[in-house]
A and B are shown apart, each in its own frame.
Chain A
Amino acid sequence: MNEESIKQIAEVVARYGANQESLVEILSDLNAQLGYLTQETIVEVARRLNLPQSHVFSVATFYSMLNVGPTGKHVIKMCEDAPCHLRGGQEVWQALQDALGIKFGETTPDGQWTLQATSCLGLCAVGPVVVVDDEVIGHVTAERIPEILARYRDEPSGGAA
């Protein structure tokens, strides 16, 4: 692990406090910055919080918003719970998988896109809802998927944050 990464972790730990009660927030913050939590990150956080590595890993794998594997440049999250389902969420879900050629939980081979299922975003009144990176898009239909994807496809930067 390079010095810069160690410094980054040190900063995040300092921000929330080097104690166990800050663990979920520390991991969330690092996850947002790095896209996912590497084994080295987990080991370093455990060392700084004086916790067993197994504990940090068990927490990192428990919460669905923390990733322990690489994600694509753009992360698309979608909730396909009942309210969105009733309003055509299933077609959107399918259209996303068809358009990218991957299933939910997977990343495209070119590392551009990750599809993640998320729990309800509480935006059911404008459902179906899709979140691309951190941008929320409501009233999504299967027909709108190509247009939505195109919007992000050409962006030079972005990242999994």
Chain B
Amino acid sequence: MTYRAQVLVGSAGEKAPAVEQALLGKIKELHLDQEIQVLEASTLGHPEQPVEIAVYPDGVHYVNVTPADAEVIVTEHLYKGRPVEPLRYREPQVEPLPAPSTKEVRVVLRNVGKIDPENIDDYIAEDGYQALAKVLTEMKPEEVIAEMKASGLRGRGGAGFPTWLKWQFARNSPGDEKYVVCNGDEGDPGAFMNRRVLEGDPHAVIEGMIIAAYVIGAHQGYFYVRAEYPIAIRTLRVAIKQAREYGLLGKDIFGSGFDFDLEVRMGAGAFVCGEETALMRSIEGERGMPTTRPPFPAVSGLWGKPTNINNVETYANVPQIIMRGGQWFASMGTEKSKGTKTFAIAGKVKRTGLIEVPLGITVREVVYDVGGGILDDKKFKAVQTGGPMGGCIPEQFLDLPVDYETLASVGSIMGSGGFVVMDEDTCMVDIARFFMEFVQDESCGKCTPCRVGTRRMLEILTDITEGRGQPGDIERLEKLGEYIKKGSLCGLGQGAPNPVLSTIKFFREEYEAHINDKKCPAKVCRALIEYTIEAEECIGCTRCARNCPVDAITGKAREPHVIDPTVCIRCGICQQVCPVGAVHVE
């Protein structure tokens, strides 16, 4: 059936189902249900707005939609053809953002938010599965590898290993039974690129996987997706079913004699399963603990068979490299880091969300041009890239290009694409402690340096943030960090000290202030700050005293109030409620 218009409902908002119901109800009431299709989508790019809907082909976006608004949109826009102007999305008025499209290039995200992910015809209409047809009917595996080599595509899971070489290793590995695996265990806090791709354009990933399977000679593939992504899993299962129905998975694909099928495997909440050897153990029904490499998966992977394992984003790039040529892909990016990369910008920027930019773009361009700058126009302090095993990049490196080698040269990593922006109010010791808490919690416990070492580092960091830091703590952290990096088996342990080491390197004075002066310069660490009321500014309105949860504030009406620091729990409520800004933090 062809529809006159399509309405996409952004499903990240908790109120989305109610809005969708309201839309459907009104559409039916006006007998438009044969003309208008309502689709669920992931967020459409304005994630700061709770419920959003988009009407195509008009391309009109509405944000902050309530069920009542939805009914108005149906009657006015869909029935009478008049977009509802007051509800339309507008660029924030406070400070107009430069159009992100000037810096963004959408390769991996080209279909996300545009097509119905649960309808394979939508993907085919966007030239979907043409690359697969070309590969299976016109290209030898060696020719595909040559094209991949020309593209310069490197692993998007973070390590940046050349994809063509990985494929070649798996292809040359002897064995009649081989596997391809897609790593969709995107566990880095603040990273949700793969989720959006799987939810928005699952067939692109499936197509890339089939091509990889053809190249290495595999007939069975596994999607490993974390259980925290239920919509991605559902979408993927629908996509695989449809691909089977169309003969794109199964026996004799495109009459080429090539057989291949796919299964989805779900994680169960273990961060370390994003590590490739741990992931494969998990698929086999084991505890997801990493094993030593070599042997690499290309030689001995799933059930000891040669296995090619790539990230979601890596596979999603493949069909377009085949269709548009490796040279086209290599025309984007830097000398060693080709193509585009998706990033999830989070933290203290005006526009959080998913972006795709050519590699080699500067940190400044990502933060200010694409992210719209720092929230409340505060001062940029650092950006944490590469997830919990990445490092913090300070202001002096704002103009560094974002590529694999450059990020590594300043003590961080590309990782899967997390991009957490911090402003002047962020305490770098607190953040380092925070990431250490994360890796400590997620350490699988196999290697002593990671299991015990991260705990010791966390204890030292906790002491520092709670005012018990001692001279020599910084050196102890540095020494421990180096040991853990050297002694751990997998990427989790090897990368665990990075947030601490990079913040010590670039923000050593903050550590020293915590340890020597017992002060938190960013005024975050509660044990090291004190709230006071400036007597000359206080108007004696009693609001602070009335709101204090522990009755630490005393004073008569219309007279200056005083905070008792021994009772105060430093919750900051008094500062929030003070009408004249008389409460200060030191």
Contacts and interface: CB of A to CB of B under 8 A. Distances in A.
A59 to B, nearest CB: 6
Contacts of A2: none
Contacts of A102: none
B348 A86 contact: yes
A142 to B, nearest CB: 10
Nearest to B302: A21
A86 B266 contact: no
Contact of A24 (B228, B268, B388): B268
B508 interface: no
Interface of B is mostly: loop
Nearest to B263: A21
Given A62-B288, A63-B268, A122 B228 contact: yes
B347 interface: yes
Contact of A124 (B228, B286, B344): B344
Given A82-B435, A125-B47, A126-B12, A58 B191 contact: no
A59 B288 CA distance: 8
Nearest to B284: A21
Interface string B513-532: 00000000000000000000
B149 interface: no
Contacts of A81: 189-190, 388, 438
Interface string B13-24: 110000000000
Interface in A16-70: 19-25, 27-28, 58-59, 62-66
A24 B457 CA distance: 32
A139 interface: yes
A82 B384 contact: yes
A138 interface: yes
B426 interface: yes
Nearest to A20: B285
B192 A123 contact: yes
B365 interface: no
Contacts of B431: 82
B413 interface: no
A74 to B, nearest CB: 16
A121 interface: yes
A161 interface: no
B284 A119 contact: no
Interface string A104-115: 000000000000
A63 B228 contact: no
Interface string B325-357: 000000000000000000010111000111000
A156 B282 CA distance: 37
A25 B283 CA distance: 10
Interface string B182-210: 00001111111001000000000000000
Interface in B267-292: 267-271, 282-289
Contacts of B287: 58-59, 62
Contact of B285 (A22, A117, A136): A22
B47 A86 contact: no
A91 B536 CA distance: 31
B434 A85 contact: yes
Given A86-B348, A137-B14, A24 B266 contact: yes
A63 B12 contact: no
B227 interface: yes
Nearest to B423: A86
Interface in B42-79: 43, 47-48, 50
Interface in A121-141: 121-127, 134-139
A83 B348 CA distance: 9
Contact of A119 (B50, B228, B348, B434): B228
A119 B271 contact: yes
A13 to B, nearest CB: 12
B346 A124 contact: yes
A124 B434 contact: no
Contacts of B426: 86
Contacts of A25: 265-266
Contact of B352 (A19, A23, A125, A134): A125
Contacts of B13: 126, 138
A76 interface: no
A63 B192 contact: no
B52 to A, nearest CB: 11
A122 B226 CA distance: 11
Given A82-B189, A82-B434, A122-B228, A21 B285 contact: yes
Quick one: which of A63, A82, A123, A127 has the most chain B CB within 10 A? A82
Given A63-B268, A86-B347, A86-B420, A123 B288 contact: no
A153 to B, nearest CB: 17
A85 B282 CA distance: 29
Contacts of A120: 187-192, 228
B187 A63 contact: no
B422 interface: yes
B229 interface: yes
A117 B438 CA distance: 11
Interface of A: 19-25, 27-28, 58-59, 62-66, 79, 81-87, 117-127, 134-139
9 contacts: A22-B285, A24-B285, A28-B266, A59-B287, A82-B346, A82-B384, A82-B438, A125-B352, A126-B50
Closest 3 CB pairs of A and B: A81-B189, A125-B47, A122-B192
